[in-house]
Structure 1
Amino acid sequence: MIKKQIPLRIILSVLALLFALFYVGFQLARLATDTGVMQDMFIKHSEVQLEDSQYNSIAKGITKYLKGESEKVDFEGEESLSLSEKETLHLEDVRKLVDTGLGLIWYMGGIGFFFLLLFIINKIKLFKISTETVEFAFVVGFGIFLILIAATALFVYLDFDTAFTKFHELLFDNDRWLLSPEKDLLIQLMPTSFFSGYIALFAKRHLPLILCLLMACFAFIFQKKEVKNAE
């Protein structure tokens, strides 16, 4: 039985890992389009001092654009504030990333539907899926995910500036993200502390879920050891 289900174990493990990675990408995209969060980050981290109402107008203009609700970045009522062509082009690149991130929910739904289909097939006994196979897929898939999260978190914690640069080089195939702190409004509004604030907020919101996954993985591992010892 175990040998016969090795391919299924591998498939389920990969799907569990992909589901977790897609979830992170989707949630990051949602966070990037949250007007209230962006405004709060501007107030806390912006290097250019503006009124709260101005921060609100900028946050609305950027998040509406990133969500595809507007075809251009428009800071309503703030004619004195504008972005350069390079800044606008960079936001266009960011918008493509956000579109991709928000679109990941369809892939998550597809994986979830596949898991549901397997559950039904197992329930009506068309094909027997062992408990060990499910536990293996959970531990391996989410275990690899947790290792990746831990490694990324450690990298960011130890050297945020390098991590910031590397992620931009990975995500963008041009140098439009290399803005000038002296003249570009976008980077003045969003210094590195702005992004570290976003990461801290994301971690705070999802830490309970991460801990639950970690405890579930350990529970499956130790439960299996206890069963083996009992035998």
Structure 2
Amino acid sequence: MKILHNFLGILCGFALMIILLITSIEAVTYWTPGYYEKEYAKYGVLNDVHMEMDDLLDVTDEMMAYLRGNREDLHVPTIVNGQPREFFNDREIAHMEDVRGLFVGGLLLRRISIGLIVACVALLVALKADIRRVLPKMICAGSALFFAILAVLAGIISTDFNKYFIIFHHIFFNNDLWMLNPDTDLLINIVPEPFFMDTAARIAATYGVSVLAVFAICLIILYYRKK
């Protein structure tokens, strides 16, 4: 029975790490005030797309709303080089449909993970497990294992970001729509590779802090329980 208790606790830890990872991505890409404006200015994006900052930020808001399913399409009119036009062309729209699938899938995975934690805790209660001992201890163990796997992957990716960025696209996309042309596709110009690197680093930092907070809370609970 103890093995089952520990297994359920580790499952909670894994599910919690998935929740924190997806939430960290959401926090950086949706909840960080001024993030896109700062990145656009940093990499001279306005000169590449020949747009005013307010217009580009409006396009960005519509794009991010689309990615999480809050907008039906990506037909976004704007001003480019002083002329009215739609920002996204057909190829970009088709690619962003694939990207939206990843975003929406991630949000669904988070909801499933929350449900898994609720189910595991309910089962532990039904099995009359010592919740205050099992959960903090096994969440630490499961979280440490999950975080270690991610840390190894992050270390590998950091050796050649461009190489693994391409591998990522080959894994998650079954077409070449992600291979955009900066001469014809504005999307690739507003999210250059350094932008992705900055975003990945910020997500990693946010996630790391949240994981450390979970560890601290679990250790405090175990400490006071022992006392």
TM-score (norm 2): 0.78
Q: CA deviation at 1:113?
A: 1.7
CA contact (8 A) 1:90 1:176 kept: yes
Q: Distance in 2 between matches of 1:210 and 1:33?
A: 20
Q: Which residue of 1 aligns with 2:41?
A: 43
1:156 aligned onto 2:157? yes
1:113 aligned onto 2:114? no
Q: Which residue of 1 aligns with 2:18?
A: 21
Q: CA deviation at 1:139?
A: 3.3
CA contact (8 A) 1:33 1:67 kept: no
Q: CA deviation at 1:161?
A: 0.8
Q: Which residue of 1 aligns with 2:7?
A: 10
1:87 aligned onto 2:87? no
Identity of aligned residues (%): 22
CA contact (8 A) 2:28 2:202 kept: no
The one-character-per-residue Cα deviations of 1:14-36 (angstroms, maximum 9, x if unpaired) are 33213312431344245445585
Q: Distance in 2 between matches of 1:81 and 1:19?
A: 40
Q: CA deviation at 1:190?
A: 0.9
The number of residues matched between the two structures is: 215
Choose the corresponding residue for 2:109, options 104, 120, 123: 104
* Larger CA deviation: 165-174 vs 107-116: 107-116
CA contact (8 A) 1:83 1:185 kept: yes
Q: Which amino acid aligns with 1:16?
A: G
* Larger CA deviation: 152-161 vs 44-53: 44-53
Give the gaps of 5 or more residues in structure 2: none
Higher RCO (Cα < 8 Å, 6 or more apart): 2
Provide closer, same or farther for how the CA distance between residues 89 and 58 of structure 1 changes in structure 2, counting only shifts above 3 A: same
Q: Which residue of 2 aligns with 1:72?
A: 73
Q: Which residue of 2 aligns with 1:198?
A: 199
CA contact (8 A) 2:20 2:210 kept: no
The one-character-per-residue Cα deviations of 1:40-81 (angstroms, maximum 9, x if unpaired) are 333333343532112212212211221323222143443335
CA contact (8 A) 1:60 1:75 kept: no
Q: CA deviation at 1:107?
A: 1.6
CA contact (8 A) 1:33 1:66 kept: no
Give the gaps of 5 or more residues in structure 1: none
CA contact (8 A) 2:20 2:211 kept: no
Q: CA deviation at 1:187?
A: 0.6
Secondary structure at the residue paired with 1:80? strand
Q: Which amino acid aligns with 1:8?
A: H
Provide closer, same or farther for how the CA distance between residues 69 and 37 of structure 1 changes in structure 2, counting only shifts above 3 A: same
Provide closer, same or farther for how the CA distance between residues 36 and 103 of structure 1 changes in structure 2, counting only shifts above 3 A: farther
RMSD: 3.0
CA contact (8 A) 2:59 2:87 kept: no
* Larger CA deviation: 7-16 vs 22-31: 22-31
CA contact (8 A) 1:66 1:98 kept: yes
Q: Distance in 2 between matches of 1:193 and 1:147?
A: 25
